[in-house]
Amino acid sequence: MSDGKKSGFGIIGYRVIRHDGQFLYDGKISFRGTGPFQVGTSIIVGPFVHQIEPTGLIISLTTNKPVSVLISLSNGKIYSSSVGTKHEIPVSGLEPDQTYEYTVQAEDYAETYSFKTAPLPGTRKSFTFAYASDCRAGQGGGERSIFGMNAYILKKVLAITMAKKAAFFQFTGDFIDGYNDNANTSLLQYQNWQRAAEPFAHYLPIYAGMGNHEVLVHRFDDQGPYGIQLDKFPFATDSTEALFAKVFVNPTNGPTSEDGAVYDPDPNTIDFPSYMENVYSYTYDNVAMIVLNSNYWYNPSLRHGDNLSGNLHGYLMDRQIEWLTEALAKYQENPNIDWIFVTAHTPALPNGGHKGDAMWYDGDNHCRSIVAGKPVPKGIIERRDELLTLLMKHTKVVAFLAGDEHNYNRMLLTKDDPIYPKDWTGPKITEASYFRNLWQITNGAAGAPYAAQESMPWTGSVKFFTTYPTIVFFHIQGKSVKLEAVNPDTLDTIDQEQLY
């Protein structure tokens, strides 16, 4: 607004606040004129950088009216979008490991930022990446709860991530409060997340994984404390997964869906949501990240005993496990990849807040997904063991990165850990020849209401636990991997560990 009367241009930030003080929306708009004023062409979300590779990336943004957008790079190249309000513009033909300024222009409105391309695979230059999850609305009022998310902590998390010069940020789930039955309510919460992340995501690629709070549900009645809830359908257009793909710009190299699995009720019809942009993998230099969805086709009512079809919180279904097997083998054999990280929202071994579900359910292996009214053959603990087996057999896997629990904890799973219920008669991975110690790093401390530590059979292997807000950094130096956990509110380093 500086010198606005002379230029006839300005940008105003505004908030919509409910009568009780609840922030509903955090927005911005440009205006023209010297009075009376008119709303001008504006970028109301973004621009964001995504999927930064050695020779290209994607830039996305939303405009307040249908226009064509131009992207001008400091090397003189120009890219454009078709007329619309949502824009995803591929940028190609770049040089590896180089910084570029980019200008986004929508009619007479323009903004300028920068990004840095990734190095060539296997360059093995030192770099850092960040990890966190769970920034849904917290307690304390103000920006800790801007309708659906904790903007106060998220901004601090992203500010220190930028200060550490992180190459990318992996954020695995619970961006918003969710559990909505109206897509527009979820979209409003997502947009509040985007606005909080925006000042940093102009420069920093953020990869998004799905959590349970992203769920968009059908509610059928109000009986009981939760009612009956199912993943929204039709799946192709209205599901949690379809909405997630509309909001985020993630890689599309994952599996198709659970259609074709042994429990598929009709091979001639689409019976499951898509995995598009919610299960995928990507690489940066000598690191591969595999992103899973432990809340796919999620039926919130299953955990409360309603015998309705849907997927159980924390359960990885068959086709996803098949794809994970192939992805791990591909990266294990790739000579340019030294380290593999696997992430899902739900911890394999919960430590604070999800003792009764996650991949444990108080040790009850009867808990499992239900398809067409029939329980699937394998229970939650059997499926957890399949996941851990895959991670242990592929020796490049550094750690399993989880969230869901609103704390930060670092756990080293060893063969001495009692990870089975007392009446367990099946095979035990802790007795298998392939068993190796495995790190589980849980960081659901990006702003959601904190969850204290619970006593679990494996608590002795928890090396560090805190309910402080936390951002985790992995410092990659060739064949070295070091973890650093920082409190973004105070900037204190609260945990460090040389993982490899």
For residues 203 and 79, what is the distance between their CA atoms, to the nearest angstrom? 18
Superfamily of domain 127-498: Metallo-dependent phosphatases (3.60.21.10)
pLDDT given for residue 220 in this prediction: 76
d(CA 437, CA 388): 11
How confident is the model at residue 313, as a pLDDT? 95
CA 293 to CA 10: how far, in whole Å?
42
CB 499 within 8 A of CB 479: no
Give the distance from CA 265 to its chain's centroid.
30
Query: How many Cβ atoms sit within 10 Å of the Cβ of residue 492?
Result: 10
CA atoms within 13 A on the CB side of 392: 20
For residue 90, cis peptide bond before it (omega within 30 degrees of 0): no
CATH value of 4-116 in 1.20.120.450, 1.10.274.10, 2.60.40.10, 3.40.50.2300 = 2.60.40.10
pLDDT at site 266:
93
Among 311, 171, 304, CA closest to 241: 311
**Within 10 Å of residue 490's Cβ, how many Cβ atoms?**
11
Q: Sketch the domain layout of the chain as residue ranges.
A: 4-116, 127-498
* Coarse DSSP helix, strand, coil percentages of the chain, rounded to the nearest 5 percent: 20, 35, 50
At 74, list the tokens.
């400091």
Helices (H), strands (E): how many in the chain? 7, 27
* In contact, 73 and 91? CB cutoff 8 Å: yes
Sheet containing 206-209: order of strands: 206-209, 169-172, 127-132, 471-477, 480-486, 493-498
DSSP class per residue in 21-75: S-EEEEEEEEEESSSS-EE---EEEEEEEES--SS-EEEEEEEEEEE-EEEEETT
Hey, which bits of 285-368 come out as E strands? 287-291, 339-343
**Overall size of the chain counted in residues:** 500
| Residue 469 preceded by cis peptide, ω within 30 | no
What's the pLDDT at 427? Answer: 95
Q: What pLDDT sits at residue 221?
A: 67
Please name which of 377, 261, 369, 273 lies closest in space to residue 323, comparing C-alpha atoms: 261
Contact 72, 113 (CB under 8 A): no
The whole-angstrom distance between residue 250's C-alpha and the CA centroid of its chain comes to 10
Q: Which two structure tokens, joined as six digits, stand for 28?
A: 């911005």
In tens digits, what is the pLDDT along the chain, a chain of 500 residues? 677 778 889 999 999 999 988 899 999 999 999 888 899 999 999 999 999 999 999 999 999 999 999 999 999 999 999 999 999 999 999 999 999 999 999 999 999 999 999 999 999 999 999 999 999 999 888 899 999 999 999 999 999 999 999 999 999 999 999 999 999 999 999 999 999 999 999 999 999 999 999 999 888 766 555 667 888 889 999 999 999 999 999 999 999 999 999 999 998 999 999 999 999 999 999 999 999 999 999 998 887 666 688 999 999 999 999 999 999 999 999 999 999 999 999 999 999 999 999 999 999 999 999 999 899 999 999 999 999 999 999 999 999 999 999 999 999 999 999 999 999 999 999 999 999 999 999 999 999 999 999 999 999 999 999 999 999 999 999 999 999 999 999 999 999 999 99
Q: How far apart are CA 176 and CA 191, in angstroms?
A: 10
Strand partners, 179: none
Of 51, 443, 388, the C-alpha closest to 211 is 443
